[in-house]
Each structure stands twice: as C-alpha cells, then as structure tokens.
Structure 1
Amino acid sequence: MKKTLLKYTGILTALTLFMQVSCNKLVDLKPINEISDVDYWKSADQYKLAANEFYTYLISFGQVLYDPFGANSNGGSPHSDLRADLTYNINVFSNGNNPLIITDGNWNTGFTRLRAINYLLDKSTKYTNAPEIAQYVAEAKFFRAYVYFDLLQQYGAVPIIQKPLDVSSPELMAARNTRDEVVDFIVKDLEEAITVLPVETALGAANKGRISAGAAQAFLGRVTLYEGTWQKFRNGNAGRYNGLLDKSIAASNAVIAAPDYQLFAPAILGDSALKYLFILEDEKSNPAGLNKSTNKEYILANRYSFTQRQIRQNVTHTFWGYGLTKKFADLFLSEDGLPIDKSPLFQGYAQTRSEYRQRDHRMLYMMAIDSNYYWDNENPGARTTWTGDAADIASSRGRNNNATGSGYRNQKWATERRLNDNEEGYDWPVIRLAEVYLNYAEAVFERNETIADADLDKSLNLVRNRVNKAMPKLSNSLVSANNLDMRTEIRRERTIELFLEGFRLDDLKRWKTAETEMPMNLLGIKWKGTRWETRYLVNGNPPFPVDANGNLILETGRKWSDKNYLLPVPTQQIQLNPNLKPNNTGWE
C-alpha cells in the first residue's frame, strides 16, 4: 500500500502520454518539458492540459478484447469478456482457478492514477479564480469516480484517498473503507461534477471528446445500477439498494431526455448499421461511406484515428473468427420475439446455416455464418466496390468456414477496409446510448419488480428494434402470453447488445448468477446428428468430446466459488499495510 501510494507519477511526464491521443483535439499540446511544478498551475490552460492526462485512463480495446493473464502476469484485464462464458477461451479467471497473487498492476495503477487526480484537485484549492478552472476540476472528480468504480468492481472495499500523500501521511496505514463508503464517495464526486460540466452541445468542436454532463449522468446511472443490484441480490438493505436504483433511473432518464444523443441507425445501412457502428472510421469503412461525424450514439469514447492515433492492436485478425459458445448463439431470439425453445420459427441445427435463419438480425452481424462471404483488412481480402457484386466478392477472403474451433465465429470489431495489421482507427465506446437505454429498463424493473410497456418503449425496445423492425416489442403481454420471465428477457437484451464490450463478467457478478453460469461446460456447435458430423472431423473423429445432446464440449470441470466474486488484495500491499486485512472472503 505504502509503496503504491507514494509512487510519484509526475503530471508533466504523464502529459507526454496524452500527446499520443491528439486526435481527440482537446487542446493544442505544446512542449512543456522544461516547466517545473513551481511554475505550473498558474493558468486555466495549464489545468486543462493537466486534466488531459486523465483521458488516458479510459478503458479501451486492450482491456476488454484481450487478457494477457498468465503465470508471470501482473493482473491482466479484469473486465475482459474472455474471462466470462460466451467466448471459447481457456482462462484461469473464467474457470475459477485464478490464484492469490503477490502484486497486481491494476491495484498499483489505480492508486497511481488517484494520486495524479488528487494532485490537480489539491492545486485547484489554491487557484484564485475558481470559476475559470471549474470544468477541469469537475473532470478530475469524474475521473476519480471512474477509477474508484474500477477498483470497487475488482476488490470491493478499498481505502479512500482524497489528497496527495507524503511519507508521514497517516492514510498510508489506513484500513479499507467500507463498500458503502466507497460507493457514496463515487456518487458524490459524480453528482458534483454533473452540476458543473457542460452539456454535449456546449462543448464545441474544439473540445469534442471531453467529459460532458451527459457522460457523467450516464456513468452515474451505470454505477448506481451496478451497486443497487449487487446489494439487492445479496439481501442487502432495501432502503439502500432502492435508493441507488432510484438514482440510476433518474440519471439514465436525464440522458434519454436530452437531445444530444441518438442510436446509430442510418437508413442507408439498414440492418448492417450495428456492424458498421463498431468499425466506423473517417476513411471509407462502410458501404455508405459514412464517417464518425454521423455517430451520435457514443456518449464518451476512447478516440482513435487512422491518421493520428491508431489502435496499434491487431483487432481485426484477433477477433475475426474468434470462437464463441453455443450459450451465446442460443440467446438470440427468433424473429417472432420468442426464445428458440418456444418459437415455431426456429429451424434447428441440422444444417450448418439453419440455426441462423429467422433470428434476431444482430446475430447476422455479430456472428460469422458458415459459407457466407466475408472481408477483412487483407490484400486481397478487403472490400472494393462495397456492393456485394462480383468484383466485391472476388476481393473477399472467400466463403467462411466454421469447421474450426467451437464452430461459432465472431465478426464484431473486424474491419472490412484495406489496411495493415494494427492500423485500425475506430473508437472504443466507453459509454454509448444503447447501454443507457438498457440500464434504465433494468433499473426500473429491479426497483419495482415490474416495468410498464411505456418504459420499455422509451428504452430497451429502441435497442431491440434498431435492426429488428418487424420483431414484436418486449411487452408485458408478450411475456404473459408466452410464459416468459421479464427479468430474463431484459438481461438477454443486455447480454446480446453489449457483447464483447466488457460487461458480461461484471453483470454476472452483480446479479450473483456467476455461481450458476460460470461452472457450466463451454459448448460449441451441435455436432452429432447434424451436417457438422461429416463436415467437421479431426482424423475421422469429432474435434472435441460430445455431450448427451450431441454438442461439442470445449471445456469442462469449470468452477466458481464465493471468493471469485472479488479479486484478492495483493499480498504485497497487506505486507506494507497490515491494516488492509482481512482480505476478501476466501482469500484470507
């Protein structure tokens, strides 16, 4: 603890990192290597420049689409979807075998970041013209809440540090604050920031990408939904969790009511809008040639650019064709709005393409269908005419072959335009409007154990019907007539829409369903009795063991215990500060 909290991250050094994200156009960055701390903090521009460091803290591709955890790693990616149950990935976190570790880079990084944020806030108290820097102080409070929420999700109760510490600070040996205290601290910072931050339209082109009041409200809605449901499903105090859910409803509703944001659904792209949203660039990256200016759905984004700040991770080749599980494929409804086990439209698994027919159209744009033509960034392999004509098909990577891995393949996050590996420049959606709609619907339902059709129509159904214009809306009558469960259907919509965006594992934790979902075998396609039985063989045998229902078993023997709901405080920190004990349940 002491070692981490005393680690000095100089504001000026960290600012150099922000020069790599100049595509945000937040400010003209000037060389400031020679400026000492004594000479700094004397103008609003200097506070703005200092606040720019915090934008490098936003989650992005590397923290969600990858997870480098291994024997010699230092914490890995705690929000990665690879740690959950919808991708084919053997991972010590997903199968409940993560160990007690000595040091954790996520703990260290969190408190290092808090020191930088607290440093700006401390300096701001001495600035004579407070209104002049109020926006950057509010941004700092947003980011302090952002970092603390990340720590809360990982470790639960953590120490609250509100000022820069020195070697004599008693806080170095403080105990952890309670979970409730940490949450209240996060909420307080966000509510204070919201009253000061400008609305999206007031930011102007020069400041596009900075934290807006809408972003802070949306994040408050996320935080309070998370904690409200965490407490509810652990038999917490009803007054406490209902109060948090009330805050979530109000915050999300404020964003919904604002005119600043809208779902990305250009008519010219039709159902494919959802696919191209995630690979939108200012270069031609979709059949209509739309660029990032048409995207009003991203409320807060980690912003990239092919010309100014490339992602520098091989996103397309890593995730084009990445293995998915049968659990994920089976979540998609049929076109009649019913689960496949209830719908007469479901066409079964006999053929390699049959299960994709007459399903939720999102399935067509998130998953790669066997024998369809697909494109990626290769040359040849990238799109040419973007029309699907003979020339376009000739330039494709050919017909997709799902007879590999789990038999289910991903296409989300894979570009179709020609570029070299690691050069993708699409933005990461830290917060997007679809999530806010889903947060609102869930918070209303969990607060009241019921939800009116009007509330569904102003939120969840907009997401559901974005690319499913003819699908029946989720409604109380649909649920009642078909013996469905409203909570299950709300969670289904969230799981599908936010897939591979860093929510799945955290959702299972807050719902307290990880103990049921995570130990399940990871399954692939139905192999026995289907076309796959002759299409997908390894030395004349099924590629994996087959269960009693004929499905490929990708991984078995998975487990999940209560201790896996939180990560352990790293043992090195407890050695430095014994007052951090006891460790989280099961890690003592």
Structure 2
Amino acid sequence: MKKQLLKYLNIIMAGAVLATIPSCKKALDLTPQDAVTDATFWKQATEFKLAANGFYNYLRSFSNGNGDGHGGSDLGADRGALARGTNTVVANDNNYNDAYKWIRNCNYLLAKAKEYSKPEEIKQYVAEAKFFRAYIYFDKLLTSYGGVILVKDLIGLDAPETTAARSSREETIDFIIQDLEAAIADLPSEGAIGAGDKGRVSKEAAQAFLGRVALYEGTWQKFRNGNATRYNALLDKAITNSKAVIESNQFALFKPAVLGDSALKYLFILENQKSNPANITKAANKEYILAVRYESNNLLKTIPGQISFGAIGADMSRKMADLYLCNDGLPINKTKTAFSRATLTSEYQNRDNRMRYYMCIPGYPYWQNATNWHINWDWSPVDLANARPPHDEWSNGTTGYGNQQWAAERQVPNSQEGYDFPVIRLAEVFLNYAEAVYERNGSISDADLDKSLNLVRNRINAAMPKLSNDLVTVNGLDMREEIRRERAVELQGEGFRMDDLKRWYIAHIELNKPMLGVHWTGTEYETIYSYTGTGTPPAGIKKRPGITLDANGDVVTDPASERKFTEKNYLIPIPTNQMQLNPNLVQNPGWQ
C-alpha cells in the first residue's frame, strides 16, 4: 500500500490530474481502496509524513550530485567542463528543471498543511518542507545561477511567477534564511527523534545547514567588496548557528580508540556488516548530522536511492598531495622534518595521517570489495595474500596519485555497499565555525581554534602541533590559508571544493593553473618506469606511461592552455528554453 501511495502521491505533487480507476457498475461509485486521490489523501498526520519522505531524495548523495559540477575542482584530475570554464549555454538544463519541480512538491505540502485542522500534529513535516525548499534554492539554484525566480506558494500555469523577473541574489538568500529559521523553530532536536525516525532532519541539521549557507554568502560578498554590514551579519549568523550545533552536544567526531589513526578511513565505509577490523557498526557514528542512509540489502536505503562508490586509484592532483601538512604541523615548504620526492613513497613519510588514508601509497597493499577483500582483518599472510596487488600508480589514472577514500574493504558486489553519504557532518560544522570567526573578526583566538578546527586536525593526528597564533607567527604562516587548508584536506572527497573556490573568489586563479602529477625527472619514477619497448619489461622495470613533462620534470596531465575559467564562469547560464518561455528572464553576465 505504501508503494502505491507514493506512486500516486508523486503524480499528484507533480501537478498532474489523477484519474480514478474504473469500477464495476454499482449503485455507489466508490473510490477503489488501492487508489489515492487528492481529496482523500491529506487527512492524517501520517500522510504528511509520507509526503515529506519523498523530499529526502533531493539531498546530495552518491548518485545525486548538483548540476553545477560541485565535484569538479583543482584537487582531482578530472576537472570537467564547468571547472575548466569550457561549458556552454544549453537549451535544456535538468538541474534547473528538477529544482523547480522539487520546489513545487514542497509548496504542495505547505499548501495542504494550511487546510489541515490540527497544525500541531504536522508542524514537523511543514518544517521539513521548508528546510528542503531552502536546501533546493541554495544547493541547486543560488550556487549555480545566482538570484532566481522565487516561487513561494503553489501556483497555477497562469500565475505571475511563471513570467516573473529573477529575484536578486540578496532576496534569494534572504528567503532561504527565512525558510531555514522557520524550520529550526519547529524541528525536533536530534535527541528527541525516536529510533524509528533516525535520519530525519533535526533542528541541529537545519542550524548546521544555515551555518553553511550564511558562511557561503557572507564570504561571497566579502571577497567581492560587498556591503560590510550585510556580510558581517551573515558571518554572525554562521557563527551563531554553527556554535549552537557544537554546544548542543548531540554529535561527536568519530574516533573509536580501537581504530586509532584509521578512524577517519573507516568512517566513510562504515556499514552494519563487518566493514572494519573492530567490527564497529553505524550505531557508533555520531558525527553525521544529516546523511543519506544506505543499506546493502537489495540496494535499499532507509530513504530510497542507490549507491555507487569511488574506486581505488582514481586520480588525485599534486595540489591535493601538497596540501597535507607534515607531522610537525607545517607545510612541505616550511617543515623542519625531512621531505623528499626522490622515491615513490618518500613524500608520504612524516605527513598528516589523512594522507595515507585518503590516498594510495605506491607499493602498499589495498583491499577492495568485489575482488580483494579482507579475509580476517589482521594483516596476516593470509589476509595480505588476498589484498589487491601493490598499487600501480598508473593503473587507473594519469597523475601518479591515487584515491582510496570510498572503497569498501569487505566482500560486497560493486554498487551494493551500505555506507551512508554525509550531507552534513560535525567536522564541517567545526570548520565552518573557525572560518566564520576568522572572517568576521580578522583573527581567531587559540581557544576558538581548540574547540573547533583543532578537534578535526588532531582526531587522527594526536602528536601533531595544534594550529595556533604562535605557530602561525613563528613560522611565517597565514592563518586564513591554514584554515582553508584544513577544510580542503578534511572535506576533499565530499564536493565542497568548487563552491569554496567560487565563494573565496579565487576560482579564476586556481582553476587556470596546470594540473600536475608526480615529480618525474631524477626520481625513482623515472628509473622504474623506463621501459619503452613492446615486449615484456625486465624484472623490476615497468613500461613508461604516456606522460608529458614540464620544464621542472613534473608530470602534466592538464596544461594551463586548456583552462578557460573567467569571471562569467562563477555562475552558469540560464537554459535558453527558459529564456524563450519567460521574456522577463535576464541571462547571467557574459553568457548573452
């Protein structure tokens, strides 16, 4: 019955007319018991809950990204057209279409809620509708197109909004914030959500998202010389809401002592089946504030969808590798420890532990779900014998730097892994707080760093010096750059980087640099990958990959000549079919 309800509800909420199923000729023409009509559905609070369930499909996930190409950046080798600045005006844009379709669905529930006689019974689902409407306006529209047409109510085909001009960026952000603050007032705290409803949006999730929104727009305006009163108010809002989540004590960084410095690796592949050496399950994860929740059985998740994973070996860039600090808390150009690129593994030594758990170290064994899974999780000869052969830097990519973040280590078929996708996690909230404080005040105290950024930094780097004002001063560092570095390293696989480059107003600088791989000339790479013949290479020697080197002897996988990111690329163009349908739409600058 629930599947049929959802089927018909989707039709209703898309604005289509639902025809009743014909019945046998009788004295009374009764609506069939397995059909739903608009007149019979919105009668109980449980039906509003069922309708709200569908909104969870709008969250970013493994299979649902943002049409603006948020995953592309300067940290992975595949930048894509949007990050390259080579995208063009398109006639039809599914990102734009889906956003307004989903907003209509939220507005439909809100319209029906006004007719419901017991508003207290459904206030949570009304709040969820407002949260998701704000989420869509921000994640799919504002970050892609800037200010957009604001549809605040359920409208008909002849409503003025169908041919309205775009609202300003400021009006759009203000509406998003208004929705989120209304949602926060009526959403339950995480601790008040029952076990059967875990995964639903909480008050803290909405506060955390508002913190993200306010930080995004506050910095967007600040680095474009916007109105200081306005961007400071936004940064204050980011601080207040992020701090509220932190001080709620509803969440905690995932760092079981038994996993030691591998905790972060296993956080991303945590399943209810044995997915780590300590057999810790999802119940131990208090870090995810809002997540798309997957289970591996029959490709189902608690809120429907499907999973795919990032395979071992996917390219990472030199920039990503160089962002990791050395274990003395200093970058590679200032470290007091030994740093070298002479061998395949030397640059991975004495580094932030996240480097060895996010990236693949050449020559190390790795385990990967469908083919090379852990036998007994004890790294014994038997376990090692089933590992993937030592990682070949050129097996899946072109830079020599590989990724392992999302690869399951238990035996499970591809696309049937059951780990959750973090839409919002506590580590991001800590980093949002630290950045907002710094950008608001032009400085940040050691006390604020210790209750936010340093908790993230030292989660699996207990011996690494904390980020402090003294560390920055003594070593000639830049506090802003160190805060941004921490964000890039911690969140590198979660789709934040492109948005960060745009809001900091440095995308036109960073994305136009060449994409580099490993240093080649004079290193072990040049020695080992030296065979250029057509037969079998000699023992210990591998075939030279098809690479291009720059004047410094570095592998270049994407030259600067391919980079064309300019001012216009900070926003993507409105699709031309929408421009034709609505003569009052104005195209984004540079795309006319």
Moved more, 89-98 or 417-426: 89-98
**Separation in 1 of the partners of 2:136 and 2:308?**
25
Task: Name the structure 2 match of 1:545.
Answer: 548
Aligned equivalents of 1:302 and 1:134: distance in 2?
A: 23
Aligned to 1:391: 382
Q: Which amino acid aligns with 1:109?
A: D
Aligned-pair CA distance for 1:189:
0.6
Aligned 8 A contact 2:70 2:499 in 1: no
| 1:400 to 1:310, Cα distance in 2 relative to 1, 3 A | farther
Establish whether residue 574 from structure 1 lines up as the match of residue 563 from structure 2: no
Give the C-alpha shift of residue 397 in structure 1.
1.1
1:305 matches 2:295: yes
Could you say if the C-alpha distance between residues 305 and 256 of structure 1 is closer, same or farther in structure 2, counting changes exceeding 3 Å? same
Matches within 5 A, 1:169-248: 169-248=159-238
1:11-47 Cα distance to aligned partner (Å, 9 max, x none): 344899xxxxxxxxxxxxxx98501011111111111
Task: Give secondary structure in 2 for the equivalent of 1:192.
Answer: helix
Displacement of 1:547 in angstroms is 1.4
TM-score by length of 2: 0.90
**2:430 equivalent to 1:437:** yes
Deviation at 1:545, TM superposition (A): 1.5
- For the residues of structure 2 that align with 1:414 and 1:211, how far apart are their CA atoms? 27
Say whether 1:260 aligns with 2:250.
Answer: yes
How do 1:123-138 residues align onto structure 2 when only pairs under 5 Å count?
Answer: 123-138=112-127
Residue in 2 that maps onto 1:69:
none
CA contact (8 A) 1:154 1:566 kept: yes
Residues 334 and 346, structure 1, Cα contact 8 Å, conserved in 2: no
Aligned residue number for residue 311 of structure 2: 319
Q: 2:109 pairs with 111, 115, 120, which one?
A: 120
Deviation of 1:90 after TM superposition, in Å, equals: 5.2
Deviations 1:31-71 (A, max 9, x none): 9850101111111111111111101111101245xxxxxxx
Give the Cα separation in 2 of the matches to 1:424 and 1:310.
10
2:522 matches 1:516: no
CA distance 1:538–1:545, shift in 2 (3 Å): farther
- Determine the structure 1 residue equivalent to 2:557: 554
For 1:389 and 1:402, locate their aligned partners in 2 and report how far apart those are by CA, in whole Å.
24
2:25 alignment partner in structure 1: none
1:79 Cα deviation from its structure 2 partner: 4.1
Question: For each residue in 1:76-124, what CA deviation from the matched residue of structure 2 results, as whole angstroms up to 9, or x when unmatched?
Answer: 742442x211111152122110011111000000000000000100111
* Equivalent position SS for 1:429: strand
Q: Distance in 1 between matches of 2:63 and 2:264?
A: 22
Task: Compute the displacement of 1:550 (Å).
Answer: 1.3
SS in 2 for 1:93: helix
Q: Kindly tell me: are residues 179 and 167 of structure 1, through their superposed partners in 2, closer, same or farther at Cα, counting changes over 3 Å?
A: same
Distance 1:330 1:313, change over 3 A: farther
- 1-structure distance, mates of 2:339, 2:440: 37
1:328 aligns with 2:320: yes
- Match for 1:547: what amino acid? D
1:47 aligns with 2:57: no
Residue type matched to 1:282 in 2? N
Which blocks of at least 5 consecutive residues in structure 1 are unaligned?
Answer: 1-8, 17-30, 65-75
Residues of 2 paired with 1:310 and 1:365: CA distance?
28
Once the 2 structures are TM-superposed, how far is the Cα of residue 167 of structure 1 from its aligned partner? 2.0
User: Alignment identity in percent?
Assistant: 52
Deviations along 1:186-229, one digit per CA (max 9) or x if unpaired, are 10111111111110010010111111000000000000000000
Q: Quote the residue 2:478 is aligned against.
A: 485
The amino acid of 1:552's aligned partner reads V
Q: What's 2:590 paired with? A: 586
Q: Which residue of 2 is the match for residue 5 of structure 1? A: none
Query: Over residues 378-398 of structure 1, what are the superposed CA-to-partner deviations in whole Å (9 max), with x where a residue is unaligned?
Result: 34x110110111111011112
Deviates more, 1:514-523 or 1:318-327: 318-327
CA distance in 2, matches of 1:53, 1:279: 25
Match of 2:273 among 283, 287, 308: 283
* SS in structure 2 of the partner of residue 554 of structure 1: strand
Q: What TM-score does the superposition give when structure 1 sets the normalisation length?
A: 0.91
Q: Deviations over 1:336-358 (max 9, x none)?
A: 00000011214210000000000
- Distance in 1 between the 2:473 and 2:127 partners? 46
SS of corresponding position for 1:523: strand
- Asked if 1:101 is matched to 2:93, the reply is no
Aligned residue for 1:430, secondary structure, equals strand
Q: Distance in 2 between matches of 1:400 and 1:418?
A: 19
**Does 2:38 align with 1:34?**
no
Query: SS at 2:266's partner residue?
Result: helix
Displacement of 1:403: 3.9
Equivalent residue letter for 1:292: K
> CA contact under 8 A between 2:299 and 2:306: conserved in structure 1?
no
Verify the 8 A CA contact 1:88 1:324 in the aligned structure 2: yes
Contact 1:217 / 1:255 at 8 angstroms: preserved in 2? Answer: yes
For the 8 Å contact 1:14–1:53, the answer to whether it is kept is no
- Which residue is 2:349 aligned to? 357
Could you say what secondary structure the match of 1:198 adopts? coil
Instruction: State the match for 2:240 in structure 1.
Output: 250
**1-side partners of 2:446 and 2:107: how far apart?**
44
* Equivalent in the alignment of 1:4: none
Alpha-carbon distance change, 191 to 538 in structure 1, aligned in 2, over 3 angstroms? farther
**C-alpha deviation, 1:559, in angstroms:** 2.0
Aligned mates of 2:516, 2:579 — CA distance in 1: 40
Pairwise CA distance, 1:166: 1.1
Determine if the alignment matches structure 1 residue 86 to structure 2 residue 86: no
Corresponding residue number in structure 2 for 1:446: 439
Secondary structure at the counterpart of residue 580 of structure 1:
coil
TM-superposed CA distance for 1:538, in Å, is 6.8
- Alignment-derived partner of residue 20 in structure 1: none
Per-residue CA deviations over 1:473-527 (Å, capped at 9, x if unaligned) read 0000000000000000000000010011010001000000001100000000000
- Alpha-carbon distance in 2 for matches of 1:10, 1:571: 32
Change (3 A) 1:297 1:90: closer
Alignment counterpart, residue 404 of structure 2, candidates 386, 404, 411: 411
Distance (whole Å) between structure 2 residues aligned to residue 326 and residue 461 of structure 1: 25
2:4 alignment partner in structure 1: none
- Provide the residue aligned with 2:415 in structure 1: 422
Q: Which amino acid aligns with 2:385?
A: A
How far apart are the structure 2 equivalents of 1:77 and 1:319? 22
**Residue in 2 aligned with 1:154?**
144
Distance 2:85 2:274 in 1: 43
